[in-house]
Every structure is written in structure tokens, then in C-alpha cells.
């Protein structure tokens, strides 16, 4: 079993947890709406009233978040509810929730494994996101603050894994087993994520773009020993996992949403051909479909 759990939907978590996240989303959306109203308020009295309402909404949300964290609701889930509320995006029971991150005991084999599997999850999410952005013809800008921070976070996680492996003198055999298990996990995650929507994948990707993530991993490295001092081979770096994720995605064929479109087109063309051979089946829109030799423009490569 992977030390990084799979994502969940809101409908799959305890009802009281789901209700708490819904309230965070609602209070954040209310605060954002009030902030916009402040920009157009005319009188001082109106502005003061709006400021009081903003303060009340923000205070209620902050207290609610403290309560939710005390009940061990993952901070990354609370972040999703807050981010979507601020963006006025809807909150439903189908909302995806990123894997909850838990730090393992310092300087242990389990920490190395957890960090490696976390890199695998990030690689799968990143490659699927790029694929879906290309599929929907959205631009990909690797220079955005979020994209740059995502790569920095991958680097920080990898640095901790190799430093920890060196500190505990992780053997070649143990490194090989961790890498093999992570590779199998990557294959499973590509299979899981390839059927998700762009919104789902973007939510998972955004959970890895926080600046505090890299800071947390760097602070957790308490020793001064740097990578490369061990005689054992280093663990695979982030680019290795990104390349492997792309290979797995390509080898698996197009995602389900692509295959559904292809089957629909094939069925429509086949029905049109049959319709030409018969002297009926008109009036169902088949005559408007392209013929068997029509050129179907392919989508972008994965």
C-alpha cells in the first residue's frame, strides 16, 4: 500500500467533516463578495458596515478552521474549500480532495518511502494536467509563480529523501525496493487520474503549489550532510518520475474522454454508411454526419 493515500470525494468523508468544509467555502465566498462590494461603496457609513461584515466573516472562518484542524481534518482539504470559495467556484459533494499529507518519523526508511511516493503523485498529477490542458487547447506557462513553486517543492522533497537515505545508510537493496514500489504506484495513479476532469486534476495540482511546502521539508532536514556523500546510488530525481509518468500515460493510450469521442465518431460514421445502403433511416440527422472518407482533425498529442 502506498504511504500517500488516494484522493477522496467530499461525499466519501464523514458528514461532519464535509459540513465543516462546506461552511469554510461559504464564509470565504461571503467575504470575497463583501470585499468586492467595498470597491463600489459610496458613503463612509456603507464602507464601515461592509468592513464590519468582512471582519465578522473572516473571524468566523478562522475560528472554524481552528476547530476543523483540532478534529484532524487535513489542512490541505481546508485550503481547497477556502481557495474555491475565494474564486466563487461551486462546492459540491463530488468535489475532489487531495491526498492528506502526514509526516513520518524523522530519519527513517518510512520517511524516504513516503517522500518518494509523494514525488510520484506530484509527477502523475503534473503530467496529466499538462495533457488535459493540451487536450482543451489551454496554454501551459511554466513561468507562473505556481508552476515554479511546484517544481521547487518537488526539489525540496527529493532533497530530503536523498539526505535522509544517506543519513540512515539506506542499502542498495532498500533503495531498489522503494523505487520499484513507487514505480508501481505511479502506474496505478496514472490509471486513476487519467479518467478525471481538468478541474479535478487542477485541484490536485494546486495542492502542491504552496510556498510553505518546500519550507516545511527544508526545515525538517536537521543534519548538515548533503547529497552525494554516500557511496550508494541516489534515489530517482523529480525529472525521472515526470518522464516515467509521461511514458506511462502514452503507453496506456488516450484517456477515457478521448476514447468516448472516438467511439461516438466511429459509430456515427458507421451508421451513416448503413443509412446510404438502405432507402430509409432518414430524418434522424445521419445525413449531416461526415462520410467514411472525411478527415477527422486529431487532437493534440498527449
Confidence at residue 107, expressed as pLDDT on a 0 to 100 scale: 64
Give the global pTM. Answer: 0.78
Distance (Å, whole) CA 234 – CA 160: 12
Average pLDDT over residues 297-301: 38
Task: Enumerate the domain spans of the chain.
Answer: 8-96, 109-251, 254-302
Of residues 296 and 75, which shows the higher confidence score? 75
What DSSP letter does each residue of 142-189 carry, written as one string?
TTSHHHHHHHHHHHHHHHHHHHHHHHTT--HHHHHHHHHHHHHHHHHH
Confidence at residue 291, expressed as pLDDT on a 0 to 100 scale: 33
> What cell numbers appear for 272 in the block?
451513416
Instruction: Kindly tell me if the per-residue pLDDT of 66 is higher than 60.
Output: yes
Of residues 175 and 102, which shows the higher confidence score? 175
- What is the overall mean pLDDT for the chain? 83
Q: pLDDT tens, 110-135?
A: 999 999 999 999 999 999 999 999 99
Instruction: Kindly tell me if the per-residue pLDDT of 264 is higher than 90.
Output: no
> What cell numbers appear for 98 in the block?
487531495
Distance (Å, whole) CA 277 – CA 273: 7
Amino acid at each position: 500500500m502506498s504511504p500517500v493515500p488516494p484522493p477522496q470525494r467530499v461525499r466519501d468523508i464523514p458528514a461532519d467533516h464535509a459540513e465543516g468544509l462546506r461552511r469554510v467555502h461559504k464564509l470565504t465566498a461571503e467575504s470575497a463578495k463583501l470585499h468586492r462590494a467595498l470597491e463600489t461603496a459610496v458613503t463612509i457609513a456603507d464602507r464601515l458596515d461592509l468592513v464590519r461584515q468582512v471582519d465578522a466573516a473572516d473571524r468566523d472562518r478562522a475560528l472554524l478552521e481552528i476547530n476543523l484542524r483540532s478534529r484532524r481534518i487535513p489542512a490541505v482539504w481546508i485550503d481547497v474549500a477556502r481557495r474555491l470559495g475565494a474564486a466563487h467556484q461551486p462546492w459540491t459533494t463530488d468535489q475532489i480532495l487531495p491526498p492528506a499529507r502526514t509526516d513520518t518519523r524523522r530519519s527513517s526508511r518510512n520517511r524516504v518511502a513516503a517522500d518518494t511516493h509523494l514525488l510520484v503523485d506530484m509527477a502523475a498529477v503534473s503530467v496529466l494536467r499538462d495533457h488535459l490542458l493540451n487536450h482543451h487547447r489551454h496554454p501551459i506557462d511554466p513561468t507562473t509563480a505556481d508552476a515554479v513553486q511546484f517544481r521547487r517543492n518537488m526539489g525540496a522533497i527529493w532533497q530530503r529523501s536523498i539526505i535522509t537515505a544517506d543519513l540512515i545508510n539506506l542499502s542498495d537493496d532498500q533503495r531498489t525496493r522503494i523505487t520499484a514500489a513507487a514505480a508501481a504506484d505511479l502506474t496505478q495513479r496514472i490509471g486513476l487520474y487519467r479518467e478525471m476532469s481538468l478541474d479535478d486534476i487542477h485541484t490536485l495540482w494546486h495542492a502542491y503549489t504552496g510556498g510553505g511546502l518546500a519550507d516545511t521539508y527544508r526545515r525538517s532536514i536537521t543534519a548538515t550532510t548533503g547529497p552525494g556523500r554516500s557511496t550508494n546510488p541516489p534515489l530517482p530525481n523529480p525529472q525521472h518520475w515526470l518522464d516515467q509518468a509521461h511514458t506511462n500515460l502514452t503507453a496506456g493510450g488516450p484517456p477515457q474522454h478521448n476514447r468516448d469521442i472516438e467511439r461516438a465518431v466511429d459509430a456515427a460514421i458507421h451508421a451513416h454508411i448503413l443509412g446510404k445502403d438502405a432507402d430509409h433511416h432518414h430524418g434522424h440527422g445521419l445525413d449531416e454526419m461526415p462520410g467514411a472518407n472525411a478527415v477527422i482533425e486529431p487532437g493534440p498529442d498527449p
